[in-house]
Each structure stands twice: as structure tokens, then as C-alpha cells.
């Protein structure tokens, strides 16, 4: 190999700084918040398409990114389960377009309001589909956050006071992607050996090794955390500990009281100042509490202009959809009684297109070069 080829194949290091994982999570959770403000299937489909496009162009090659199809299948299952419940248990939505009539099971008097079987109307099915699609969109947005920035990356950016809590949440969130990766690997191995990988027998033959691998991974993680001194804290004065507890507890109480004031008509004057004061006190308490955490960050992700654009685009979508829901609720919540076809409101749809901004302001990850044949 010539020196020129060696230099061209040498790793160039981190050619571009990665976008802060908190920005990706704020973007995805903001899209999920926007999904909760509407039941219009056209707007929800637009939210799903925008998040899926960004994931397709910018997701990383991590176990969490491969879990995105699983979140999509889970979202589809949620819609189907919601429809099955509407058919089997009935719906409070009245309707005149009867599709079929199932045998109704008589229930005792203490089960008033619940029925098994009976008449199934088109209005009830459409209402259930709208409701299920809203929850499905929220699940897909969470899957997009996992695909774009794994929980492990997000853990590095948490304040020191929340490090232990963040580790517990990250372990819980990464458990499902690792299980999915193990299932795919074991099913592929069984297919190569000519053994069945579907049905009850295949499920048992795959499930036991997956459970065994999960237990071994848990034991190895516990040993690694203990060897690295996880949970070791620094000595801080008692006054600092008491101040930290007072600021954190007072800040959380202020946030709760301020939020309650904003939601009530009488508390509009004091709600916002109390909320801001609570947030400031909680942040100060978290900063003081971070002194007890003895840890460093290797190559921390910077919060730069691109992170502001990514987080801001999602926040703008959530804010504009919330405004549209307050000003034009009929467009964002199409009626089912009487049954009418949903229409696409123009300016809320244009607001959702802001979610595509990360696809243009964040450069795509360079693809690995193919080996010469």
C-alpha cells in the first residue's frame, strides 16, 4: 500500500460534530405533542411522513436505530387493537350507518355502560381509527427520537444531579432494542440451520435464548458499573445539600403551582411568574446537585446553531398546531357525527412541513465505502 493510499484510508477522526441528542429528542417529542393536538388523519399522516423522512436520511447505525420499524409495527398494532375494542366493547359515539350486528352478551346491572357485541356503526369505527392513529403517531415520534439519537448519547448530556436517574431510564429504553436485535439474530441463525422460526415452537426456541442473553447482559452491566465506581459521590458540605434539596423541591412546587395557575382563569396573573421562578429554582438546584457527581464527558456534543434549528423547528410545529387547535378546532378535529370526510387545512399542514428543516440543515452521515471486489 502506497503512502497516499494509507493516508486516504486513515481515519479522519470526527469529521463533523454530531447534533446534540437533546435537540433530536426535543424535536421528536415536540412532534408528538403536535400529534396530541389533532385527530385529523391527514395531518397525522403528514407528521408521520415528515418524521420518517428525517429518520431515513439521518439515522445512525446503532441498535436503537434498528428499532424504528418495531415502533412502526407497534403503532399499527395500537390502531388495530383500538378498532377491535370499538367492535367488541362498543363505543359511546352514536351512529346511524350500521355496518354489522354482533351477538350481544347480557351483562349484570353493575356493568352499566359496557356492552359485549351489538351493533357496529361506521361512526364508531372512524372515531376509534382517529383516536388510535393519534397514539400511533406519538409512538412513531418516540421511535424517531431513538433512531436519530440513542438514549446512551442523551445520557452524556444530562446534568450531574440526574445522572443516576438517567442511567436507569437509559437501561430501560435500550432493553427493547437489544431484545429486538437478539431476536433478529437468532431467527436468522435458525433459518440458516433449516429450523422453524415462526409459530409457537419457534417462539419458544427463540424466546429462551433471548431471555438468557438479557440476564447475562444485566449481570455484566452490573459488574461493569460496580468496577467503574458507579454511585460514588463527592463530599459536599451539609449546607450545600440542604440548599440543593430546598431549591429543587421549591422549584418543582413552583412549576406545579404555576402550571395550575396558567390552566385556570383566576390564576392567569400569577401563573407565569410563578412558573418561571419555579423553573429557575429547579435549575439552580440541579446545578448545585451536580457537584456530588464525579464524572467527566468524553467529546461532549456541542449545542450549536444546528441544534437550535432542530429543536426550534419541532417546537414551532407544536406551538402552531396548538394555536390552530384553539382557533379552528373543527379543522383539526373532524367530526364523525354526522360522518364527513376530513379536509386538509392549509396553514397547519404548512406548519408541519417545518419539521423537515433538520433534513436540510443537518448534514447526512457519510456512508461507509464499499470494499473493492
Give 282-310 pLDDT, tens digit per residue: 777 777 766 666 566 666 677 888 889 99
Residues 151 and 23 in one domain: yes
Place of cell 385529523: 40
How far is residue 249 from each of residues 254, 261, 325, measured CA to CA in Å?
9, 18, 34
114 inside domain: yes
Q: Hey, which of 53-67, 135-149, 170-184 has the most confident mean pLDDT?
A: 135-149
Proportion of the chain above pLDDT 90, given as a percent: 15
pLDDT exceeds cutoff 70 at 185: yes
Structural domain range at position 53: 17-157+315-328+340-358
100 inside domain: yes
How far is residue 226 from each of residues 4, 161, 162, 178, 331, measured CA to CA in Å?
46, 19, 18, 22, 55
The three-point CA angle 95-98-99 to 5° equals 130
pTM of this prediction?
A: 0.67
Total domains in the chain come to 2
Residues 98 and 33 in one domain: yes
142, 106, 176: which is closest to 27 by C-alpha? 142
Peptide bond into 338 cis (omega under 30): yes
Mean pLDDT, range 151-155, rounded to an integer: 69
pLDDT exceeds cutoff 70 at 166: no
Residue 12 and residue 191: Cα distance in Å, rounded?
A: 39
Residues 135 and 72 in one domain: yes
pLDDT exceeds cutoff 80 at 60: no
Residues 260 and 345 in one domain: no
179, 178, 180, 183: which is closest to 152 by C-alpha? 178
Residues 148 and 43 in one domain: yes
Residue 62 and residue 74: Cα distance in Å, rounded?
A: 20
pLDDT exceeds cutoff 50 at 361: yes
Query: H or E stretch including 102?
Result: strand 98-105
Proportion of the chain above pLDDT 70, given as a percent: 71
User: pLDDT at position 350, please?
Assistant: 92
C-alpha cell at 295: 464524572
User: pLDDT at position 86, please?
Assistant: 83
Query: H or E stretch including 69?
Result: helix 68-89
pLDDT band at 162 (very low <50, low <70, confident <90, very high): low
Residue 207 and residue 199: Cα distance in Å, rounded?
A: 12
User: pLDDT at position 224, please?
Assistant: 75
User: pLDDT at position 45, please?
Assistant: 93
72 inside domain: yes
Report the chain's C-alpha Rg in angstroms.
Answer: 25
User: pLDDT at position 3, please?
Assistant: 41
Mean pLDDT, range 348-352, rounded to an integer: 92
Amino acid at each position: 500500500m502506497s503512502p497516499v493510499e494509507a493516508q486516504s484510508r486513515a481515519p479522519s477522526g470526527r469529521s463533523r460534530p454530531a447534533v446534540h441528542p437533546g435537540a433530536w429528542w426535543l424535536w421528536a417529542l415536540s412532534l408528538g405533542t403536535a400529534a396530541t393536538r389533532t385527530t385529523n388523519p391527514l395531518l397525522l399522516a403528514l407528521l408521520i411522513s415528515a418524521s420518517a423522512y428525517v429518520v431515513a436520511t439521518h439515522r445512525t447505525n446503532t441498535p436503537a436505530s434498528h428499532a424504528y420499524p418495531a415502533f412502526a409495527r407497534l403503532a399499527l398494532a395500537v390502531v388495530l387493537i383500538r378498532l377491535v375494542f370499538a367492535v367488541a366493547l362498543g363505543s359511546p359515539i352514536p351512529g346511524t350507518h350500521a355496518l354489522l350486528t354482533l351477538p350481544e352478551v347480557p351483562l349484570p346491572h353493575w356493568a352499566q355502560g359496557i356492552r359485549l357485541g351489538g351493533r357496529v356503526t361506521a361512526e364508531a369505527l372512524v372515531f376509534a381509527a382517529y383516536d388510535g392513529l393519534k397514539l400511533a403517531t406519538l409512538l412513531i415520534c418516540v421511535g424517531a427520537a431513538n433512531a436519530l439519537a440513542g438514549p446512551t448519547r442523551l445520557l452524556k448530556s444530562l446534568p450531574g444531579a440526574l445522572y443516576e436517574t438517567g442511567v436507569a431510564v437509559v437501561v430501560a429504553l435500550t432493553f427493547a432494542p437489544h431484545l429486538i436485535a437478539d431476536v433478529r439474530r437468532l431467527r436468522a441463525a435458525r433459518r440458516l440451520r433449516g429450523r422453524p422460526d415462526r409459530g409457537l415452537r419457534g417462539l419458544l426456541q427463540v424466546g429462551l435464548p433471548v431471555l438468557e442473553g438479557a440476564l447475562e447482559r444485566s449481570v455484566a452491566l452490573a459488574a461493569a458499573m460496580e468496577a467503574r465506581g458507579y454511585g460514588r459521590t463527592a463530599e459536599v458540605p451539609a449546607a450545600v445539600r440542604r440548599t440543593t434539596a430546598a431549591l429543587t423541591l421549591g422549584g418543582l412546587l413552583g412549576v406545579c403551582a404555576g402550571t395550575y395557575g396558567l390552566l385556570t382563569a383566576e390564576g392567569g396573573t400569577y401563573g407565569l411568574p410563578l412558573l418561571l421562578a419555579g423553573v429557575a429554582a429547579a435549575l439552580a438546584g440541579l446545578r448545585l446537585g451536580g457537584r456530588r457527581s464525579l464524572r467527566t464527558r468524553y467529546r461532549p456534543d456541542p449545542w450549536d446553531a444546528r441544534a437550535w434549528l432542530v429543536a426550534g423547528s419541532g417546537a414551532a410545529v407544536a406551538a402552531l398546531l396548538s394555536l390552530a387547535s384553539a382557533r379552528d378546532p373543527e379543522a383539526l378535529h373532524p367530526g364523525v357525527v354526522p360522518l364527513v370526510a376530513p379536509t386538509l387545512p392549509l396553514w397547519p399542514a404548512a406548519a408541519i412541513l417545518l419539521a423537515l428543516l433538520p433534513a436540510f440543515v443537518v448534514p447526512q452521515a457519510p456512508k461507509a465505502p464499499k470494499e473493492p471486489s
